[in-house]
Structure 1
Amino acid sequence: MEYERPLFFRVMQYAARADRDVVGMVSGNPDWEPPAALREGLAEYAEADIEAFQYPPSEGLTKLRAEIAQRRGVDIEQVVVTNGAGEANYLAMAAALDRNSGDELLLTDPVYPYYPGKTELLGGTERYVPVAEDGQLDPATVREHASEDTAAILVNTPNNPTGAVYDEATMRELVAIAEDNDALLLSDEVYDHFDYSGRFASALGVDSEHRIVTNSFSKSMAITGFRVGYAVFPEALVDDAKTRHMLVNVAGSQPAQRAVLTALQETGPDYYADNRDLMAERVETFTAALDDAGAEYTTPDGGFYVLARFDDFPGTLDNVERLIDEAGVAGMPGDAFGSAREDWLRFALVTPRVEEAADRLAEYFR
């Protein structure tokens, strides 16, 4: 099966080779401190008995799964701890296709590039549903595209790259569409702690055997390198998901899971609120500078990203490289996220140099 390698690595490598200082705004790597309790959990693990250095349970540490289950209001047996949200989404998409109820995955356009890549890798067929100018997804449009060929509807809320947040009514209707077409709703909620609108609603709020929710601690705890995520499966699908997980990974990292468990148990809501406020301030700073540059842009309701469009400067890879060389700012080409925003550029605001990057863009395009 042929599939395209996402452009993220190519852009980051180009920026690293540049002959000038470059503000990196390509990847969603948080630049703030993880919870203090996470570092403490790692230190405690270093002094543990040798038994703690061996394989953990394949589906994840029991105490971590129990903590996740309690927080998400689900049964522990539905929870599989994964190698980040990336594996969680892979398992969810595989589960949808393995049901033999269609081979088509409905994706939004614009789309996070790893979704179509995984679809092709798994032998499925992607079909795209357009979103509104503000990134919102109209369930009626999804229903028009859904059919007996639909294996799953895959959504990301808060959304990468649009910043759209889907409310409770939207999520309920998406689950209903999945049920009506004997499909699954796959809801990737990795940015759930970064909702600036107050409207975010998890698909777990809808009781259904036709939805899978994936998430990760990568963004919320600023630990993308730890690779600790999870998926919540319907009871009928969880055993197959555990088997696939075991065959692919054997098990996840025991020290990373133990540290995450400690952080979950000992970190209060202020940690998450402070980082959410930080990101909201960066959005305001960056978009103000885009105003100065005369750009059109999206104001995200959640997540880490801003899409921007500059006159006579389409969001191609060539123009991204030109921006690196001439302005010293590295973003992502809009055409990496599908056809709907191919004239746009996407910027990740997870850098303390947001204001500097914004000034460089304003000066370059003014």
Structure 2
Amino acid sequence: MEYETPLFFHVMGYAADAEGDVIDMVSGNPDWEPPESLREGLREYADFDADRFQYPPSEGIRPLREEIAARRGVGVSQVVLTNGAGEANYLAMARALERGAGSEVILTDPVYSYYPGKTTMLGGRAHYVSAGADGQLDPSVVRAAASEDTAAIVVNTPNNPTGAVYPEATVHELVEIAETNDAILVSDEVYDHYDLSGTFTSALSVDSAHRIVTNAFSKSLAITGFRVGYAIFPPHLVDDAKSRHMLVNVAGSRPAQYAVLRALQETDPAYHEANRDLLRERVDLFTGALESAGADYVEPDGAFYVLARFDGYPGTLETVEQLIDQAGVAGMPGSAFGESASSWLRFALVTPRVEEAADRLAEYVA
């Protein structure tokens, strides 16, 4: 079986091996600080008794699951802590497909490039629907594509790579489409703290047995290396998800989960607002420089990516390597996110050098 292998690690390695100064805008690794309370939680954990260094409950430590459940308005038994949002999405898609209610997975185009590989790995068949130039998804397009063979509809809001944030009406209609076709809406909401539009709506706002919400603290707490994520399942789907999680991972990191719990309990909302303000400033700097150079771009409403387009520079791996070698800026090829993004390049705004990066790109392609 051949899997669709994402290009992220190839591009990151190529940029790391390049000669000269390269501004890294490849992957969504926040360059800002995690909450101080998270660091304090790690320091505290180092002095715990030895029994706290052993296996945690497979589904995650109960205090963190209780904290998540209280914040999201669900039962604690519905929450499974996972190895980042990546495993959360894997478990959600697996539960959708193994119900015997179809083998098709509806994905958007552009698409976050790990979803297709998971679909193949789980024995599903991808069916792509266009999300449009701005990344917004028209529910009528999804409704037309859905059928009795649809097992899952997988969406990401705020969206990577487009920055689109789906309005409440779209989210509610996507849940209704899943219900009508006995499918599962898998809503990946890992960028929920980076909604710049004020319009984000979680799929949890709809009480339904046909939706699974996935998330992680990788982005919201700037800890992509901790791998603490979670999935919220309908009650009838959660037990088998816990079993699969146990068989694949046994359990997650107990110290990381404890530190996240401390951060959730003690971090002021001002921490998140300051990070959104930083991101808004970077969006303005980057897109302003692109606009001055006459480049096309997609203004993001959330997440922390910008799609940019330069005449004569298609969104291919070859173009990305050329820009690394000759312009000193590393981004991702739009082709990695689907056919509709093949003329675009995606840049992650996770460096204080975003304006310099845009200036370098503009100067090189001029």
Q: What TM-score bracket applies, with the shorter chain setting the length? A: over 0.9
**Identity percentage of aligned residues:** 73
1:220 aligns with: 220
Deviations 1:198-236 (A, max 9, x none): 110000000000000000000000000000000000000
2:292, 2:171 → 1: CA distance? 37
2:232, 2:16 → 1: CA distance? 38
1:48 aligns with: 48
Do 1:135 and 1:163's aligned partners in 2 also have CA atoms closer than 8 Å? yes
Deviations 1:291-334 (A, max 9, x none): 12211100000001000110111111101100001100000001
Do 2:25 and 2:349's aligned partners in 1 also have CA atoms closer than 8 Å? yes
1:359, 1:343 → 2: CA distance? 20
1:74 aligns with: 74
Gapped runs of 5+ residues in structure 2? Answer: none
Do 2:8 and 2:26's aligned partners in 1 also have CA atoms closer than 8 Å? yes
- 1:64 alignment partner AA: L
2:159 aligns with: 159
Question: Residue 12 of structure 1: CA displacement?
Answer: 0.9
2:318, 2:93 → 1: CA distance? 32
Question: Residue 290 of structure 1: CA displacement?
Answer: 0.5
Gapped runs of 5+ residues in structure 1? Answer: none
1:263 aligns with: 263
Do 1:33 and 1:222's aligned partners in 2 also have CA atoms closer than 8 Å? yes
1:4, 1:184 → 2: CA distance? 23
Correspondence list, 1:12-91, <5 A? 12-91=12-91
- 1:28 alignment partner AA: G
Secondary structure of 1:224 counterpart: coil
Do 1:294 and 1:365's aligned partners in 2 also have CA atoms closer than 8 Å? no
Deviations 1:140-195 (A, max 9, x none): 01000000110010000000000000111111100000000000000000000000
1:117 aligns with 2:117: yes
Deviating 4+ runs (over 4 angstroms): none
1:133 aligns with 2:130: no
1:316 aligns with: 316
Correspondence list, 1:228-243, <5 A? 228-243=228-243
2:346 aligns with: 346
2:203, 2:19 → 1: CA distance? 46
1:119, 1:303 → 2: CA distance? 23
Mean Cα deviation higher: 11-20 or 39-48: 11-20
Do 2:4 and 2:116's aligned partners in 1 also have CA atoms closer than 8 Å? no
1:196, 1:353 → 2: CA distance? 20
2:318, 2:363 → 1: CA distance? 20
Deviations 1:52-89 (A, max 9, x none): 00000000000000000000000000000000000000
Correspondence list, 1:294-305, <5 A? 294-305=294-305
Do 1:15 and 1:324's aligned partners in 2 also have CA atoms closer than 8 Å? yes
Secondary structure of 2:319 counterpart: helix
Q: Which TM-score applies when normalising by structure 2?
A: 0.99
Give the count of matched residue pairs: 366
